[in-house]
Amino acid sequence: MPRTPLHVFAPRNTFLARMYVVLALVALAIAGTAVGAQMSKYPGASDYRQKRAFAHAKQKQAQRLLQAAKRAQITTASRRGKRSQPPKPAPPPVTTTTASTTPATTPPPVTTTTTTPAAPNPPPTTPATTTTSPAVTTTAPATTTTTPTTTTTPTTTTTTTTTTTPATTTTTPATTTTSPATTTPAPAASYLFDDEFNGTSLDTSKWTPNWFGGAGPVNSAEAAGYSASHISVGGGYLSLSLTNDSIYSSKLGKTLPYTGALLTTQPSGQFKVTPPYRIEARMYLPASGSNVANWPAFWSNGNSWPTDGENDVMEGLGGDACWHYHSPLGGPGDCASGNLSGWHTFASEVQNGIATYYYDGNKVGSITQGITTSPHYLLLQQSISDHHPETNLLPATVLVDYVRVTRP
């Protein structure tokens, strides 16, 4: 059975403590008198055990009363002494765990990082965890101990901000590095030829309209002749138009039902290139359904055909975008799969007897037969053929964003 703590009977002031001592001494004297009286009842000490047990019980009771009085006096003195004691140093980190009940609203990282320096001068009653009576007064200062803990919240906020910024800063360059692989041009100093079509008219120092000054056409399978009036520059693009206007062809000696456009760097004094080289153009090709419409082309050609070779980088044939290299050995090549109408980049690299073709930066094929080292000039074209009426679209306009020539 649990004992009643002594502090329950402890007096609240010094006067009562002293009275307890006096009462204990009086009780001890009475106990001695009672023992003497009881001893007189047993002449000759016939039952020594019984008399000794009774005397021992009375002495124990008197001793307990005396001890209670002494403890009460010590407790009262210690309570008075604590009020005059100077503040104690900061408690060890273990004692600050009592503050965990109050800062329920603060996040876990705050209590972890700031528990030790939270209270530089805690209340003196905090370490009195061994005594049950002061435990009631400890709860009130515990609330004030948590006040410095909340002031450390900005420290956590600052740390989080500086940590996430590099993360956000570290993920943004990776995206920028991948994009320019196909879109960022080489430095202007490395271009052998470049036209971005940023003016308001065709740069005639670089280009000449039509096929050797006439309406053409280049191929007798074409159903359109060429006119310089179907070529324009504006808004950063070159425009090549195709209409159903008829035009007379002196080359064929007849009138053709459609009018298209062609320009070249052929005349003497304008641009020509020899291997190794890379020629590239970004073009918008009109669509007929899910196919490339009409007969657009981006190519290079030598002075003497087919001896000097013809490199068709992109040629719209029957709705597909195709590449070929023509020479005395033939005209091998192939067509890319899928719908390549709309905006796309078309390029060809010629070096070491190999012509390699890239659409939108992806290799689509290569040719190793009949590749020449002769100088080539550039051509852009918008035409039509009656051999593929299913892809015909009138009127239609091909747009060119740029033409660039570099060394691979």
Burial 255-284 (b: 16+ CB within 10 A, else e): ebebbbbbbbbbeeebbbbebebbbbbbbb
- pLDDT (0 to 100) of residue 269: 76
- pLDDT (0 to 100) of residue 25: 77
- pLDDT (0 to 100) of residue 72: 57
Q: How, if at all, do strands 295-301 and 377-383 pair?
A: antiparallel
Q: Torsion angle, CA of 388/393/397/402, rounded to 10 degrees?
A: -40
* Between 255 and 83, the higher pLDDT residue: 255
Cβ contact 251:392 at 8 Å: no
| Tokens, residue 185 | 């041009």
Taking Cα atoms as reference points, which of 279, 307, 287, 289 lies closest to residue 374?
A: 307
**Rounded mean pLDDT of 361-368?**
98
| Tokens, residue 211 | 């096929």
- What are the Cα distances from residue 269, in Å, to 11, 124, 205, 265, 272? 120, 99, 9, 9, 9
Taking Cα atoms as reference points, which of 160, 148, 159 lies closest to residue 117?
A: 148
Taking Cα atoms as reference points, which of 138, 96, 139, 85 lies closest to residue 119?
A: 96
Q: In whole angstroms, what is the distance from residue 294 CA to residue 286 CA?
A: 8
- Percentage of the chain beyond pLDDT 70 is 55
Q: Is the pLDDT of residue 355 over 60?
A: yes
Which ranges in 130-152 belong to alpha helices (H)?
Answer: 135-151
Confidence of residue 350 (pLDDT cuts 50, 70, 90): very high
Q: At what angle do helices 153-178 and 135-151 cross, to 10 degrees?
A: 40
What are 22-75's pLDDT values in tens digits?
A: 776 776 667 556 545 554 444 444 454 555 555 566 666 666 766 766 665 555
Q: What are phi and psi of 150, to 5 degrees?
A: -70, -25
**Rounded mean pLDDT of 311-332?**
98
Q: In whole angstroms, what is the distance from residue 145 CA to residue 111 CA?
A: 12
- pLDDT (0 to 100) of residue 143: 36
Say whether pTM exceeds 0.75.
no
Q: Is the pLDDT of residue 390 over 50?
A: yes
- Percentage of the chain beyond pLDDT 90 is 51
Q: Is the pLDDT of residue 81 over 70?
A: no
- What are the Cα distances from residue 313, in Å, to 278, 290, 321, 355, 379? 10, 21, 9, 10, 10
Cβ contact 313:356 at 8 Å: no
DSSP string, 337-373: SS---EEEEEEEEEETTEEEEEETTEEEEEE-SS---
What are 258-288's pLDDT values in tens digits?
A: 999 999 998 877 899 999 999 999 999 999 9
Q: Is the pLDDT of residue 180 over 50?
A: no
- Residue 10's contacts (CB-CB under 8 Å, 6 or more residues apart) are 68, 71, 72, 75, 76
